[in-house]
Structure 1
Amino acid sequence: MATPSTEAQFVTFSLGDEIFAVPVEVVREILDHEEPFKIPHGPDYLLGLRDVRGQGVPVIDLRIRLGMTRTEKTPHTRILVLDVPVESRMLALGLVADRVYEVVPFMKTQIETAPDIGVRWRSDYIAGVVRRESGFVVIIDLARLFSDSGSALVGVGQEARVA
C-alpha cells in the first residue's frame, strides 16, 4: 500500500488531445461552463469573471495561456475553480478545460521532469510528466504559470498568433 509521501492525487483534464493534471488539493470545485462577465483590456487568455459562491473569480482560457488555439465550447467543457498559492497570496482562478476526467493517484517515482530537447524552451510551467498506456500526462506548475516573477509564458498568446 502506498504511503502519502510516495503517492500524490491529481485531477486530470484535456485541452484538445493532450492530457494535463493539477494537484487535487488546489481544486475547489468543477463547474459547467458559463460565459463569464467580460473585463475590458485584459490579456487575451482572461475570458472574464465568474461568480463562484459570492466571489468574483477570473476565468482563464488555459489553451490560449499555453499557446494553443482558443477553447471551443462543447457540452463537455468545464471550469476548474482552483486556489493557487502564488508568492505570498492565494489566487482563485477558473481554468477552462475541454473535458475533466478523474482524480488519479501517481506514484512520485512515476513523475519525470520536463524533457530536455537540447535548447531552451518554455517548459517552466511543467511540474512533471507521467507516462500512461495512452500517452503522457503533463502536470502543470500552477504557481509558476500564474506568477509575475516566475511565469514562463508571459506573452505566449501573441507569439502563437504570429507563428
Structure 2
Amino acid sequence: MMSGAAEGQYVTFGLGDETFAAPVGLVREILTYQTPSRIPNGPPYLLGLTDVRGRGVPTADLRIRLGMAPVEPTLNTRILVLDIPVEERILSLGLVADRVYEVTGFAAEEIEPSPDIGVKWRSDYISGVVRRSDGFVVLIDLARLLSTTDAAMLESADMDSAA
C-alpha cells in the first residue's frame, strides 16, 4: 500500500516562500494568531496552549518543526486548529502558519509522490507534491510529522490543561 496523499479538498498555507497543504477534513477552524500560553519543558517547536472555545489546544510552530527559522507573527499569521488521527485517538493541535491561502481541490493525477532529494526537510513528512505554475504545493503528512513521542507529549500537555 502506498502511503500517498489522497485526492480531495486541501487548505493551502504558507511558511516563508513554501506552500503547504493539509486535508480540509482535518482542519477544525482557522484562528487569527494569538500568543499561546507557554508550557514549561516543552520541545522548542511547541509554543504553548491556545484557548480554543474554552479548551487549551497545544500549539506548534511548524517552521521550527521543519527546521526553518522562526519568524515574528504578522497580521497574516494564523493558527490552523487541526484534529489529527494519531494511532487510536484524535489529537487536537494548533499549527502556526505565516498565512492561509485557500481551500482547493487536488485530483489524484495532480499529486506526485514525495521527492527523495532536493528538499530542505525530511521527505517522510511529505505525502505528495502538486506542481503549479508558480512552484509546488507540499502535501504534509501531519500524523507522520508528529511522531508517537510528539503525540504522547502533546496529549499530556492537552490533559494538563484540562485538569
* Counterpart residue type for residue 111 of structure 2: I
Rounded Cα–Cα distance in structure 2 between residues aligned with 1:23 and 1:149: 23
Rounded Cα–Cα distance in structure 2 between residues aligned with 1:37 and 1:140: 26
**Equivalent in the alignment of 2:159:** none
- Worse-superposed segment, 127-136 or 107-116: 107-116
* Counterpart residue type for residue 60 of structure 1: A
Rounded Cα–Cα distance in structure 1 between residues aligned with 2:21 and 2:53: 24
Task: Give the alignment's Cα RMSD to 1 decimal.
Answer: 1.9
Rounded Cα–Cα distance in structure 1 between residues aligned with 2:39 and 2:142: 22
Structure 1 SS opposite 2:148: coil
Rounded Cα–Cα distance in structure 2 between residues aligned with 1:95 and 1:43: 14
**Equivalent in the alignment of 2:134:** 134
Rounded Cα–Cα distance in structure 2 between residues aligned with 1:86 and 1:115: 24
Q: Please give the TM-score of this superposition, normalised by the length of structure 1.
A: 0.84
Structure 2 SS opposite 1:143: helix
Unaligned runs of 5+ in 2: 1-5, 152-163
What is the CA deviation profile of residues 10-37 of structure 1, one whole-angstrom value per residue up to 9, with x for unaligned ones? 0000000100000000000000000011
Unaligned runs of 5+ in 1: 1-5, 152-163
**Equivalent in the alignment of 2:62:** 62
Number of positions where the alignment pairs a residue of Structure 1 with one of Structure 2 = 144
Q: Tell me by how many angstroms 1:122 deviates.
A: 1.9
Point out the structure with the larger helix share. Answer: 2
CA contact (8 A) 1:12 1:102 kept: yes
CA contact (8 A) 2:15 2:99 kept: yes
Structure 2 SS opposite 1:124: helix
CA contact (8 A) 1:111 1:130 kept: yes
What is the CA deviation profile of residues 32-53 of structure 1, one whole-angstrom value per residue up to 9, with x for unaligned ones? 0000110111000000001101
- Aligned counterparts, 1:23-42, within 5 A: 23-42=23-42
Rounded Cα–Cα distance in structure 1 between residues aligned with 2:97 and 2:86: 21
CA contact (8 A) 1:144 1:150 kept: no
Which of structure 1's runs of 4+ aligned residues deviate more than 2 A? Answer: none
**Equivalent in the alignment of 2:116:** 116
**Equivalent in the alignment of 2:85:** 85
